[in-house]
Structure 1
Amino acid sequence: MSAIPLDIEALDTRSSRDGRADRSFKWLVGIAGVFVLVSLVAAALSMLWGGRLAFETFGFKFLWTDAWDPVNQQFGALVPIYGTLVTAFIAMLIAVPVSFGIAMFLTEVAPKWLRGPVGAAIELLAGIPSIIYGMWGLFVLVPVLSEHVYPWVDEHMGTWPFVGRFFAGPPIGLGMGTAGLVLSVMVIPFIASVMREVFLTVPGRLKESAYALGSTRWEVVWDVVLPYTRSAVIGGIFLGLGRALGETMAVTFVLGNAHELTTSLLMPGNSIAATIANEFSEADSEMYRSSLIALGFVLFLVTFVVLTVARLMLRQLKKREGT
């Protein structure tokens, strides 16, 4: 057999070209990663600088003061922080089990001809603008709740010992309970889509083996599917929580926008995002504007803490799975 001639010069040229392309690609993706970090730090620092007057004037009391008086230039973030956390908690309390049920139905129960249309409907719901959810909540959900639901809740549940104060109040329809319900409808498509996709990654042999051993459908999901996809499911839940914490327009329509600290879910309240959206155009003083920007920095910190906790939880889960 004759030897195949090699063009050493052509090989060196190609190797040099490939090396330059690889280095260029490395620099490009490195710049993209650094850009994300720089943008994050720049956004945080800009809000911190914009809210410096409020932080210098009120100090850490800004975080636990419930006063919000633009006339007397007294501002505190406690009511918006409380409203943000309560509405997000209500949303997740409703959205997580409903999303789990949807994902379980689409992957384990629904016939194949139905899985595609329902899955597409869930993804379409995720693409609806938040202002549409807010208008639906204000014009459809609020009248229904104020006329048919909240009067019964106030009459029957408002008299319960210890927890009655959470359900007592005037049935006006606007309030933290309504905002939490609208938020849950908004985040369900995100969490359900993530759960559905990760449930589909479970190998069929694992589930078939469990069924062969006599496990019920619920036991297969609880003992096989969830442990296999636990990290991804928690990540999807925290993704929905981040969306609920930062939502603006939908909450603004139905929350009531009242700077009052109350335990009743039927009473109007406020959130950080809704306060900024409603009052930034009306801020007629430097202190007023600085306080609103400081609220934005507080929301940034709250979201950052939530996502950090999520990452730590996922890291611990991965360590346990590796042992």
Structure 2
Amino acid sequence: MTVTTTPSSTGSQPAGNDYGTHPGARANGIFKGMSTGAGVLILVTLAAVATFLLVEAWPAFIASPEDLGQEVSFIKPEDGQSLMEIIGYLIYGTVLMSLIALVIATPISIGIALFISHYAPRRLAQTLGYLIDLLAAVPSVVYGLWGVAVLVPFLNPFYQFLADYLGFIPLFAAPESGEIFTGRVAMSAGIVLAIMILPIITAVTREVFLQTPVLHEEAALAMGATRWEMVKMSVFPFARSGMVGATMLGLGRALGETMAVLMIISPGLTLSPYILQPNQHNTVAGYIALQFPEANAMGVSSLVAMGLALFVITLVVNMLARWVVSRRSEFSGAN
């Protein structure tokens, strides 16, 4: 009887994951190097920006308030102003207007994203998605012009209504006697910022909603759940961290906005909670753009110090968003 043997699969055959002699091995190595270089470039760029801000802002930090006031026109120690106090006022105004924008834009964005992903017919969903993406391409100066020419006059009667019936709440207190509603207040800037960040939050949230496993949705519907109950039990839990990440991206966009806020708001430097009164608030980016053309060397250093504060705030916001998203990475639609 003749016994036939088959050649062993080990030894004579290369391992399944051995690409050393593969025709595309060199291309794989080049692509890996390019990808690694791109990732390192991001870190180098971030480190370069941080280093530049620290180096340029350091003279303003180590100078005494009196010396700084003598060299910088917008710092007046005799009026009780110092660089750190101005930065505090600007951070307060920036955060206040960004939070107003976030409170307005987040529920609207989630509702639009949910309608596009789960309720609208396909053609309508595609059209709405295109229009939402188109909003993100509108320059901020256009939003500022529209806000000043259209939105502010339209909102003045509404502000008067809020002041008449909710004026006992500090947020909605009317201007002092003798002043009129100009509409160029933190509330108007917050509404324009909300419109500007709406496409960012909507686009990211829509993609997260679309990643919800179809089997989860079908299982909920098969158990007798309504469409809303299916969304509440299947879509929202899956997309929760993705929605948080999208919201934080919108917040980062609002924190750094310059032209729209600068064109709309009547600036001031206070810690006032009155969002319907002019000459109360300003943002870091808007203040830098306003003072930079006439600043001398020390003035530029002071403005860079303000930019450093904004850089740190934006970095913290993004790190916080990433931490929230990573907590649920094993079943998150954002990952």
The question of whether the paired residues in 2 share the 8 Å contact of 1:175 and 1:266 is answered with yes
Checking the alignment, whether the CA contact within 8 Å between 1:172 and 1:266 is kept in structure 2 is no
How many angstroms apart in 2 are the aligned matches of 1:186 and 1:49? 33
Closer/same/farther in 2, CA of residues 297 and 152 from structure 1, 3 Å limit: same
Q: Does 1:296 align with 2:303?
A: no
- Which residue of 86, 98, 101 corresponds with 1:91? 101
Q: Distance in 2 between matches of 1:133 and 1:58?
A: 40
Give the 5 Å matches for 1:48-87: 48-57=54-63, 69=75, 74-75=82-83, 76-87=86-97
Mark the CA change 1:115 to 1:132 in structure 2 (over 3 Å): closer, same or farther. same
Residue 218 (structure 1) shift: 2.0
For residues 167 and 181 of structure 1, do their structure 2 counterparts lie closer, same or farther at Cα, with a shift above 3 Å needed? Answer: farther
Counterpart of 1:287 in structure 2 is 298
Letter of the 2:113 counterpart: A
Note the residue ranges of structure 1 that are not aligned, 5 or more in a row: 1-13
TM-score by structure 2 length? 0.82
Q: Is the 8 A contact 1:134 1:254 kept in 2?
A: yes
Aligned to 1:10: none
The reply on whether 1:35 has 2:41 as its aligned counterpart is yes
The alignment of Structure 1 onto Structure 2 pairs a total of residues equal to 302
Q: 1:58 to 1:156 in 2, by over 3 A?
A: farther
1:271 and 2:283 equivalent?
yes
Higher helix share: 1
For structure 2, list consecutive stretches of 5 or more residues without a partner in the other structure. 1-19
- TM-score, with normalisation over the residues of structure 1? 0.85
Kindly indicate whether the alpha-carbon contact (under 8 Å) linking 2:162 and 2:172 is maintained by their aligned counterparts in 1: no
Give 1:95-134 correspondences, 5 Å limit.
95-134=105-144
* Structure 1 residue 52 displacement after superposition: 1.0
Report deviation, 1:223: 1.4
Identity %: 40
Task: Choose the corresponding residue for 1:137, options 141, 147, 150.
Answer: 147
**8 Å Cα contact 1:126-1:186 kept in structure 2:** yes
1:71 shift after superposition? 8.7
Larger radius of gyration: 2
Distance in 2, matches of 1:301 and 1:108, equals 38
Equivalent of 2:188, from 160, 178, 182?
178
How far 1:320 moved relative to its partner?
Answer: 8.3
Q: Tell whether the 8 Å contact from 2:171 to 2:276 is kept in structure 1 after alignment.
A: no
Larger mean Cα displacement after TM superposition, 106-115 or 165-174: 165-174
